[in-house]
Chain A
Amino acid sequence: MSDIAFIPPVQDQPRVLLVEDDAAIAGAVIAELTARGYAMTHAETGGAGLDLAMGGTFDALVLDRLLPGMDGLAVLARLRAEGVRTPVLVLSALSAVDDRVTGLKAGGDDYLTKPFAIEELAARLEALLRRPAETRETVLQAGPVEMDLIARVARRSGRSLELLPREFRLLEYMVRRPNQVLTRDMLLEDVWHYRFIPQTNLVDVHIGKLRRKIDPPDEVPLIHSIRGAGFMLKIVE
């Protein structure tokens, strides 16, 4: 197991609008995301956020649900009504599953409950910005890993991997998102479609099993643990 510091891919600085009224949270988020190479813009109210989002060209929005003036979901609904398709990550202190569903129905692309780890926010934001294109390809490739989705076969450097169906699903998800931080919650939600918080480190155990099959001791490890965040399929091109 190797811990590495996450270095964000610095392309042309993704522009992110944060609409959040809590100064402490906003400060922490802006500082961290700026350090990770994002160009941050901040609005404290729903109205100001809406104006900025309509006028500016942002790559993504991080939108708090409970805002003074205009509610976050109302901002979202207006944006979508005006045809603004910018991906939106909704933040909320409301944890109920129903609230999450309404958040996503209103046009949000992802939903994060407060309190959240800043790593979780960063990982989800990155996932929003680097959403894998819908592909009809039946063969996936990431570095030495090759997957045939029809034949349900996975190989590393030509060597066939004996994977259980659930391990195959997990690897497929990771291969579609190489060099991207994948948090435990993201994996649980996207691979297993579960919303509950397990009492134990379930995801770690699953990743551990997959890692033993993919990364033999004598080869360069592909699956990396990202300290305090989750996991990454690291492919050096």
Chain B
Amino acid sequence: MTPMTIAKPLRRQSLAALFGTASFRLTLGSSAILAAVALLQFSLIYWRTTEYEVERADRLLDREAALMAAQSPGDLLEQLRLWQTNDLRLLITAAGLFDADRHPLAGNLVEWPEKLPVDGAIREIVVHPLDQGVRTIRAEALPVAGGRILVIGRGLRDLQQIRGIMLDAIETALIPALAFSLAAGAWLGRRNLARVGRMQQAIDAIMEGGLHERLPVGRGGDEMARLAASVNRMLGRLEQLLDEIKGVGDDIAHDLRTPLARVRAGLERARLDQARLDQSRLDTREPGVLPAAIDRAIVDLDQCFAIVTALLRIGEIGSGRRRGGFARIALDAVAAEIVELYEPLAEAAGNRLSLEQGGSVTIDGDRDLLIELVANLVDNAIKFTPAGGAVVLSVVRSGGEAVLRVQDSGVGIPPAERALVLQRFYRSDKSRHIDGSGLGLSLVAAIAGLHEARIAVLDGPDGAGTVFEVAFPADRATL
């Protein structure tokens, strides 16, 4: 295909697209309305002027006819003969005196107007006076003395002049205005078409996977720029969400890969070891290396399942469906229960776990989830506290909020990592060797989110250790 053959349909297409733009259609529409209004105005003026002129002509004709009819036949004939040189000529532009046989006697009308009945009523007729061209006049015919018939008429010359002026006005004002507005419309349409074209290009790029692309906003802040800015904000949010999902996907893949790789390596080695063992001895009934390898594989697979289960739970809690099961829960009682449950664990780890006694603090919440939240915080605190340390829980009411604090004397969390610890799968480098799904604090964050609680990670009181603070909002705490 040559460029020429594409160019033509493309041009036609772009012209069609131009006529199809909203701005062009808008200007076209408003131009049409403008023209219609102008024409209507002109017509109205013309119509009213005509009416006025006709009325004036008719009044004049009636008056002159009455005056002329009252004269004697001789005077009338004389007057008509003189009429052409007389002031009356300004009022009466066509006149004729006919005898009973309709033959002209005087005046500039020499042909009997067939369409004019002799009844003294004014009508509009077309005549051809001697001294003028063919024209339309208001005229009346009436019988006068001597059996003669008088025809007088007044041309509507002023009216024709007015019409001429108006047509001139239309030509010189309306047509250029219309042409100008259509041109402006076409220009606006082209401009918008070009903007939309640039946006379409950007959208095409986005659809092809370039989610970092943005729509051109342009200068000036008009509605299209605002729309583009809105879409860009949406794209930003989408990109962020996709990145998060991708990040979570990467984390899942990574955290599942590690135990899965261990399973695979362990099984492979066990098979090789078993094969060597089988070769080197005669009695194959002796237990081989397989049971131990299988046990290890099962442990590693269980860790995979623990990760998947924890992720499903975070998803379930995050979906917010569980808010229906909220009830009044004594937060201090939950903390006491968890202290009792975890005390032997802390003891085994050489730590002291205790609950600072305070008053009863109740909140609105899901008991099972709150237990899980406190349990995970305590579990976490015990894990990261070296032997000889202490983990202290407290539940207090502070400024209307119900605040749960879990304070440990452990390794602490660097300020830069504090926001990260609540994200899925995050584990600071120091803790990579510690078992678990790595999702305990993510679960805590999800449960806190469901309860509209806010989590703060702070330094311990003496700068040592970490304090996790979960503050349940006032309205939930005092309801």
The 9 A-B residue pairs with the shortest CB-CB distance, nearest first, are A196-B372, A199-B436, A205-B344, A205-B345, A199-B379, A209-B344, A96-B316, A199-B440, A205-B348
* Chain B residues closer than 8 Å to A198, beta-carbon distance: 375, 379
A195 at the interface (CB under 8 A from B): yes
B322 at the interface (CB under 8 A from A): yes
| Contact flags A189-208 to B (C-beta < 8 A → 1, else 0) | 00010111111101001101
* Chain A residues closer than 8 Å to B436, beta-carbon distance: 199-200
A98 at the interface (CB under 8 A from B): yes
* Chain B residues closer than 8 Å to A96, beta-carbon distance: 312-313, 316
B306 → A minimal CB distance (Å): 7
**Docked CA distance A206–B340 (Å):** 11
**Docked CA distance A198–B302 (Å):** 13
Q: Which of A173-198 contact B (CB under 8 A)?
A: 192, 194-198
> Chain B interface: which size bin?
20 to 34
**Docked CA distance A192–B295 (Å):** 28
Number of interface residues of A (CB under 8 A): 22
Given A205-B345, A209-B344, A228-B295, the answer on whether A197 and B322 have CB atoms closer than 8 Å is no
**Docked CA distance A209–B342 (Å):** 12
Given A95-B313, A97-B368, A166-B340, the answer on whether A196 and B345 have CB atoms closer than 8 Å is no
**Docked CA distance A209–B347 (Å):** 10
Contact (Cβ within 8 A) B375 A196: yes
**Docked CA distance A98–B317 (Å):** 11
**Docked CA distance A196–B369 (Å):** 8
**Docked CA distance A113–B308 (Å):** 13
Contact (Cβ within 8 A) A192 B376: no
A3 → B minimal CB distance (Å): 12
| Contact flags A31-44 to B (C-beta < 8 A → 1, else 0) | 00000000000000
Given A98-B322, A115-B305, the answer on whether A208 and B348 have CB atoms closer than 8 Å is yes
Contact (Cβ within 8 A) B379 A194: no
B276 at the interface (CB under 8 A from A): no
What residues of chain B have their CB less than 8 Å away from a CB belonging to chain A? 295, 298, 302, 305-306, 309-310, 312-313, 316, 321-322, 340-342, 344-345, 348, 368, 371-372, 375-376, 379-380, 382-383, 435-437, 440
Contact (Cβ within 8 A) B348 A197: no
What residues of chain A have their CB less than 8 Å away from a CB belonging to chain B? 95-98, 113, 115, 117, 166, 192, 194-200, 202, 205-206, 208-209, 228
B426 → A minimal CB distance (Å): 15
B444 → A minimal CB distance (Å): 11
Selected A-B contacts with CB under 8 Å, 26 pairs = A97-B316, A98-B322, A115-B305, A117-B302, A166-B341, A192-B341, A194-B341, A194-B371, A194-B375, A196-B368, A196-B371, A196-B375, A197-B309, A197-B310, A199-B376, A199-B436, A199-B437, A200-B379, A200-B436, A202-B341, A202-B342, A202-B345, A205-B344, A205-B348, A206-B344, A208-B344
Contact (Cβ within 8 A) B342 A95: no
* Chain B residues closer than 8 Å to A166, beta-carbon distance: 340-341
* Chain B residues closer than 8 Å to A199, beta-carbon distance: 376, 379-380, 383, 435-437, 440
* Chain B residues closer than 8 Å to A205, beta-carbon distance: 344-345, 348
* Chain A residues closer than 8 Å to B295, beta-carbon distance: 228
Given A96-B316, A98-B321, A200-B383, the answer on whether A195 and B341 have CB atoms closer than 8 Å is no
**Docked CA distance A186–B40 (Å):** 92
* Chain A residues closer than 8 Å to B306, beta-carbon distance: 197
- The residue from A194, A195, A200 contacting B345, defined by CB atoms under 8 A apart: A200
* Chain A residues closer than 8 Å to B435, beta-carbon distance: 199-200
**Docked CA distance A233–B295 (Å):** 24
B346 → A minimal CB distance (Å): 9
9 further interface pairs, Cβ-Cβ under 8 Å (given A97-B322, A197-B310): A96-B312, A97-B316, A113-B309, A194-B371, A197-B309, A199-B437, A202-B342, A205-B348, A206-B344
**Docked CA distance A113–B437 (Å):** 18
Residue of A nearest to B373 (CB): A196
**Docked CA distance A166–B382 (Å):** 20
**Docked CA distance A117–B302 (Å):** 9
Contact (Cβ within 8 A) B309 A95: yes
* Chain A residues closer than 8 Å to B298, beta-carbon distance: 117, 228
* Chain B residues closer than 8 Å to A113, beta-carbon distance: 309
* Chain A residues closer than 8 Å to B321, beta-carbon distance: 98
* Chain A residues closer than 8 Å to B344, beta-carbon distance: 205-206, 208-209
**Docked CA distance A209–B312 (Å):** 33
Residue of B nearest to A199 (CB): B436
* Chain B residues closer than 8 Å to A97, beta-carbon distance: 316, 322, 368
**Docked CA distance A115–B316 (Å):** 18
**Docked CA distance A209–B306 (Å):** 26
B87 → A minimal CB distance (Å): 110
B439 → A minimal CB distance (Å): 9
* Chain B residues closer than 8 Å to A209, beta-carbon distance: 344
A212 → B minimal CB distance (Å): 11
* Chain B residues closer than 8 Å to A202, beta-carbon distance: 341-342, 345
A73 → B minimal CB distance (Å): 19
Q: Which of A192, A200, A205, A209 has the most B CB atoms < 10 Å from its CB?
A: A200
**Docked CA distance A208–B380 (Å):** 21
* Chain A residues closer than 8 Å to B345, beta-carbon distance: 200, 202, 205
**Docked CA distance A99–B374 (Å):** 23
**Docked CA distance A222–B64 (Å):** 144
**Docked CA distance A122–B321 (Å):** 33
* Chain A residues closer than 8 Å to B322, beta-carbon distance: 97-98
Residue of B nearest to A207 (CB): B344
**Docked CA distance A189–B380 (Å):** 21
**Docked CA distance A224–B345 (Å):** 20
A98 → B minimal CB distance (Å): 7
Residue of A nearest to B338 (CB): A194
* Chain A residues closer than 8 Å to B379, beta-carbon distance: 198-200
* Chain A residues closer than 8 Å to B305, beta-carbon distance: 115
**Docked CA distance A166–B343 (Å):** 11
